[in-house]
Amino acid sequence: MPRLPAREVVGAIANGFTEFATPLREEPADGPIGWPGYREARSAAEARTGEQESVVCGTAKIGDVEAVLIAFEFGFLGGSLGQRTGDRIEAAFAHARDARLPVVSLVATGGSRMQQGMRALMQLQRVARASALTRSVGIPQLAVLRDPTTGGGWATLGAGADVVLALPEAQVGFAGSRVRPPGSPEAYTAEAHFAWGQVDAVVEPDALGVTLERWLRLLTARSSAAAPPPSALRAASLPSTGWEAVQAARSPERARAAEYLDAYFDWREDISGDRVGGADPGVACGFGWRDGRTIAYAAQCGTPTLPSGFRTAARLVRLASRLGIPVLTLVDTPGAANDAAAEQAGAGGAIAELFEAVATASVPVTTLVIGEGGSGGALAFAAAGSTWVTPDAYFSVTSPEAAAAILKRPASEVPDIANQLHLRPQDLVDLGVARAVVSEKQR
């Protein structure tokens, strides 16, 4: 895929770009450390690209949403970060805070500028601080990883964004192509980082503008009202026994999370992964548009939830809380994954992380139990005092089978134990676990 100039990338996704007038700082001709030939290299870069620095910063509209854009020009010394680059990025974030505008970083960089030594590397601290200050006042940040996104550009503006999109086959990694260990080139691709939960989506270039517009609409629509619980998607009678409740929740005919999300939202965009190496296909997280406002969602999809699933959900809840967006969670899991791999991946810590995110959320969290509610792995997704349940679901301290094993009772007694656990939807209401059983929406 060709590397497009910064202004061409901006022109393809945005309208009315107005560049910031950022004064160029005075510096010696050969830079702060007197690198031989640096002046000539800069002059050649300016002539080749028509730019004075490796980033172009300004405001533009992506769709109907105005945003601050930080676009890297890879043709200017490999898009490297130098002192003047830091000046421009810092000023862009300051403008975003003053104008309350979201930030979109179009990253294409080889890293810090070698000809400026530690002065260049220190720009990462400036960028990180500017980004953190902007994050602290509830302004969303999106990054688009172009080819390449390496070094400090990946470790600050890229990996540090709230939503990370990438172009297909873009090189992504902290190590640039000239300093990596030999072998495994596939590890330094956008696709690999998506699989490892470090990129939210890989987006085709011709879909980038529309995708960014959707994300900007979602992340800038604050709302103080709680998400209403979804209606039940199947007509079902309340179970007469606990074992009937368990069988109904385990039925292959029962509606699953994807069906609930599709019925609930007009449209939605997913985030993916925990940002530390894992992605759980059994947990769907993202932001959706419903009746003119944004609602965030974290939904279990019926499988044992992996540590990465809990961390992704916690990431979603924290982000929604910071941006002032209410959250909907859907509970449906036989329980947290409890094999050796899950323990090694930090299952306990991941569950604790989600419990804390939900408990400390500054936005309303609404929960609907749509299937199996298996023990603490399910409860971590649930909001205390704001949980509803469908007629074909159950919630239990553990599964009836596990309870039998713990209590050293034979498998033949599992149905009786299910009754004794008071796990039916109506039992959950009586116990104060759920506020009500939701009904099917009248058509």
Q: What is the pTM of this model?
A: 0.94
For the cut 60, the answer to whether the pLDDT of residue 443 exceeds it is no
pLDDT tens figures, 85-102: 999 999 999 999 999 999
In one letter, which amino acid is 134? T
Q: Which residue has the higher pLDDT, 27 or 94?
A: 94
Report the SS3 class of residue 134.
helix
pLDDT tens figures, 275-291: 999 999 999 999 999 99
H/E run at residue 173: strand 172-173
Give the residue from 122, 59, 142, 65 showing the smallest Cα distance to 94: 59
Binned at pLDDT 50, 70 and 90, residue 235 comes out as: confident
What letter would DSSP give residue 338?
-
For the cut 70, the answer to whether the pLDDT of residue 314 exceeds it is yes
Phi-psi region of 317 (alpha: psi -120 to 50; beta: other; left: phi over 0): alpha
The long-range contacts involving 281-285, CB below 8 angstroms and separated by at least 24 positions, are 282/306, 282/309, 282/333, 283/308, 283/309, 283/310, 283/312, 283/313, 284/257, 284/258, 285/312, 285/313, 285/315, 285/316
* All residues at 6 or more sequence positions from 433 whose CB lies less than 8 Å from its CB, including other chains: 387, 395
- Mean pLDDT of the 417-436 span: 95
Binned at pLDDT 50, 70 and 90, residue 442 comes out as: low
Q: How many CB atoms lie within 10 A of CB 36?
A: 10
Q: Which domains, and CATH codes, for the chain?
A: 6-220 (3.90.226.10), 242-437 (3.90.226.10)
Mean pLDDT of the residues in the chain: 94
Give the residue from 107, 22, 15 showing the smallest Cα distance to 62: 15
In one letter, which amino acid is 128? A
Binned at pLDDT 50, 70 and 90, residue 187 comes out as: confident
